[in-house]
Amino acid sequence: MKIVAINGGPRKGQVSKTTMMLEAFLEGCRKAGAEVEVINLREKTINMCIGCYTCWVKTPGVCVHKDDMKDILDIRKGADVEVWATPLYIFGPTAMFKNFLDRSIPLYEPYIVEKDGLCAHPPRVADQVSDIVVISVAGFYELDHFRPMSDWLHFMAGRGLGRIGAEIYRSSAEFMSAPPLKPLTDKILEATKKAGEEYVRDGRIHEDTMKAIQLDIMPDQETFLKQANAFWDWDIDRWKKRRAGKQS
């Protein structure tokens, strides 16, 4: 199995909870025998789609922009599964991830067909439509914040842009780097690794594994609010002191 992972997070290393979750999942995929390739969008030059339709009319399947997106599209063509990873920004994916999706238009025909009662653009090569595993993290306490993006992704899948094979959502994610919570974070990442193994081996993530991934880091919303806002007070004050020190 060939897996291509698209990381739409702007941050690096352990600061990026998206990367933490993605790396754990892919570790499990590799353990189960999958071949994995990771594309970090933050490291790529991808211009915005300008709506010129060159890839539909003048040079079918080839974008007018000469940037990194051509290589990314070529890599995606060989994938059995794509893993789309992005933190939740204003209840949706990051701008760079949305831009990546916009620039995927060369993979589709300009012609319009009816699909399940709605209009759609068919893929240029039908058997190149991959299964998709979605991984996303958010700072908020409730999982409900992922619902708008999940609904949007499923709508896109219904229009022929892929098949959603699994969704992994992790709320309260910023607390995953807090040293006192490391034992809980380790359990979450171990479960995410197990999810990668299960998906490659069984084609799905088991319910008990998903429950472990979504283990509550905070005991309740009240505690979450108190701890989260205390952190922001501390961080704002820390930077005020740094600026004051530079000015003195």
Written as one string, the DSSP assignment of 88-130 is -BTTB--HHHHHHHHTTGGGB-SS-EEETTEEEPPBSSGGGPP
Instruction: Pick the more confident residue, 162 or 97.
Output: 97
Q: Report how far Cα 182 is from the mean position of its chain's Cα atoms.
A: 23
Q: Residue 15 corresponds to which amino acid? A: V
Q: What pTM was estimated for this model as a whole?
A: 0.92
**7 pLDDT higher than 90:** yes
Phi-psi region of 38 (alpha: psi -120 to 50; beta: other; left: phi over 0): beta
**126 pLDDT higher than 90:** no
Q: 191, 215 in Cβ contact below 8 A? A: yes
- Taken in order 102, 107, 108, 109, the sign of the CA dihedral is positive
pLDDT band with cut points at 50, 70 and 90 for residue 109: very high
Direct distance between the N- and C-terminal alpha carbons of the chain, in angstroms, rounded to an integer: 59
Nearest to 72 by CA among 101, 98, 31: 101
Q: 165, 198 in Cβ contact below 8 A? A: no
Residue 247's pLDDT is 66
Q: How does pLDDT run across 184-242, given as a tens digit for each residue?
A: 999 999 999 999 999 999 999 999 999 999 999 999 999 999 999 998 999 899 988 88
Residue 241's pLDDT is 86
Nearest to 175 by CA among 130, 219, 210: 219
Helix axes 17-31, 182-202, angle to 10 degrees: 40
User: How much is the average pLDDT of 66-89?
Assistant: 93
pLDDT band with cut points at 50, 70 and 90 for residue 124: confident
CB neighbour list of residue 127: distance below 8 Å, 6 or more residues apart: none
Nearest to 81 by CA among 206, 211, 171, 205: 205
pLDDT band with cut points at 50, 70 and 90 for residue 248: low
Q: 219, 181 in Cβ contact below 8 A? A: no
Residue 10's pLDDT is 92
User: How much is the average pLDDT of 14-31?
Assistant: 94
Q: 100, 72 in Cβ contact below 8 A? A: yes
Alpha carbons 92 and 131: distance in angstroms, whole number: 20
